[in-house]
Amino acid sequence: MEKTFIAEREDRPGAAWLARFQAGRDEAARWYRGVGLNEPPTALECRAALRRYMPELVAPYDDICRLVGDDDLAHRILSHYRPASLPHGCSQAIWLGEGGPALVRNYDYPLQIVSNRIELTSWSERRVIAKAQRPWGGCLDGMNDDGLVASLTFGGSGRNGMRFAVILILRYVLETCRCVPEAILCRVPVAQPQNVMLLDRSGDHATLFLGPDREAAVTRFRTCTNHQEMVSMASGSALRKSVLDAALDEPAMTLPSLVARFFEAPLYSRHVGFTTAHTAVYRPKERRVDYLWPGRCWTQSFERFDEGTYSHSYGDLTQ
């Protein structure tokens, strides 16, 4: 199986964004409506929630709503308010030794679901490099030009609430916060259990456990997979976290060696429903991120953002 990734600079959504949205609108609608959920809130209710919790995003939201025109469902989709549950994998770790600070993470998704888009945007006073996901604003992880990194993993449960998709909350953090303490103060209600890892250029870091029916927990964990405080030790998520914890405890561990571990089982997966799409290494001091595949490194930074495409062959995946 092959997937082509694209890197583009798009300061603000315009004609090119609208063309992408229109091409993927039906898929976005299926994601937003989900299966077995009640009718989503009205467009007015969605905008009111956005204005209450993330007011800095209202102006760019109104701009894209004007682009799509009189399309009530599109306005609701673009708000990311009350999205459907979409479980996925991922493993990540924070490195604070030589060559750090750095955040290393794997993307474990069905390849047809994970976005192929890496983008540099400039919506306001901050620029953001992000692994974009979904029709507008959403990102799986990213870094702003202050050197704040935010990255997520699924929290291990399909519970869903009348709240926001975490992928838009990550964008909000990157658009409005300079450092980890500011990001921790963000209190936007999240629709389903999610884990968010934060790192800034000073090395300050935190892992947040979020959910629709719990208080946010702020920890200093330096590894994170797909569970929160409690999990069966027989689970794959617990195994992956234990591998990362052991790696960080090794006295001779280096950043290159840690990155190499992300290309080994059980962190690296070739399962068709849980495929490691690629690895990312964020280096906030250098304001740089390396996107990695076996045999390929695609480096992006605020000083040099290289637009283009890269196609990677995953070969035959296991069922």
CA distance 195 to 153: 5
The residue assigned the tokens 């890197």 is: 7
| pLDDT per position as a tens digit, 9-42 | 999 999 999 999 999 899 888 888 876 667 789 9
DSSP string, 14-73: -HHHHHHHHHHHHHHHHHHH-SSPPPPPPHHHHHHHHHHH-GGGHHHHHHHHHHH-S-HH
CA distance 166 to 135: 14
- Average pLDDT per run of 10 along the chain, which is 319 residues long? 94 94 90 76 95 95 96 94 74 97 93 90 93 86 97 77 86 96 90 92 96 89 88 75 96 98 94 89 98 97 97 88
CA distance 55 to 49: 9
Q: Are 157 and 211 in contact (CB under 8 A)?
A: yes
| pLDDT per position as a tens digit, 140-162 | 999 999 999 999 998 776 666 67
Domain 91-304 has CATH 3.60.60.10: yes
Looking at residue 178, the DSSP 8-state letter turns out to be S
Strand spans (E) along the chain:
2-9, 91-95, 102-109, 117-121, 128-132, 139-144, 149-154, 194-199, 205-210, 217-219, 223-224, 270-271, 274-283, 288-293, 296-301, 308-313
pLDDT at 158: 62
Q: Are 46 and 74 in contact (CB under 8 A)?
A: no
Q: Are 172 and 56 in contact (CB under 8 A)?
A: yes
pLDDT at 217: 93
Beta-carbon contacts of 90 under 8 Å, excluding residues fewer than 6 positions away, are 105, 106, 107, 108, 109, 140, 152, 153, 154, 225, 226
CA distance 276 to 240: 13
pLDDT at 253: 98
What is the residue extent of each domain of the chain?
A: 2-79, 91-304
pLDDT at 39: 79
User: Radius of gyration (Cα) for the chain, nearest Å?
Assistant: 18
pTM: 0.93
pLDDT at 87: 62
pLDDT at 36: 66
CA distance 294 to 118: 18
The 10 Å Cβ neighbour count of residue 308 is 10
pLDDT at 298: 98
